[in-house]
Amino acid sequence: MTIKFLWSKLLRKARGRTISGSHTHPTSKVESGSHVVDCYFGKYSFCGYDREIYSCDIGSFCSIANRVNIGSGMHPMGWVSMSPIFYGGRDSVKKKFSTHKRDAVLRFRIGHDVWIGDSAMFNQGVSVGTGAAIGIGSLVAGGVASYAFLAGSPAKTVRMRCDQDTVTRLLPSEWWVYPDDMLAAYAKYFSKPKEFLAKIDR
């Protein structure tokens, strides 16, 4: 590693982050440049740099890449105007002609062991099932099934991560709640789902 690389990395880390009204498990990590508001993070989950995540429940073992946007505010498209000048709250433009109340923010739910690729975006209120994967740059407008792989804008199911029998057996296994000593014992089987399932069935 060069001095220039290390200096650049240090500057990136030094920008800080905003975590407000949220619970993050001690084993989870939120990188710098990120804004996390009214969220819950399960154990061993992480999100990369420069993300905005609002009103979201995130399970354990989730991997959220850089520049992901979950829960940005939506403008009232059914009103005469969509401008924040006509609804309540603090905004970039200070002037207020009225302070009408917008609909409440819809909460997001992200299951366990979910991977979300770089620069993915989500409409309000989306639920993502356990084990799902979201491709880079995807725009997710609706619910995501467990163990599905989605990509595109709008995102569509490309394929399932594993066959239906494996999905049906993985979900009730709830391996994500195992204590660390059990995870350490079974970790050598994680690259082969069927072998892992055979071991825990014993």
How crowded is residue 84: how many other Cβ atoms within 10 Å of its Cβ? 18
- The rounded distance, in Å, linking the Cα atoms of 117 and 138 is 8
Q: What is the DSSP letter of 1?
A: -
CB of 103 within 8 A of CB of 124? no
Q: Which residues pair with 100 in a beta bridge?
A: 87
Which amino acid is present at 37? V
Dihedral sign for Cα 143, 110, 51, 95, please. positive
Residues 6+ apart with CB under 8 A from 138: 117, 120, 121, 150, 151, 152, 153, 155
Q: How far is CA 34 from CA 30, 44, 49, 53, 141, in A?
A: 7, 18, 6, 8, 22
Q: Mark whether 75 is an active-site residue.
A: yes
Catalytic residue among 35, 75, 100, 112: 75
Active site residues: 75
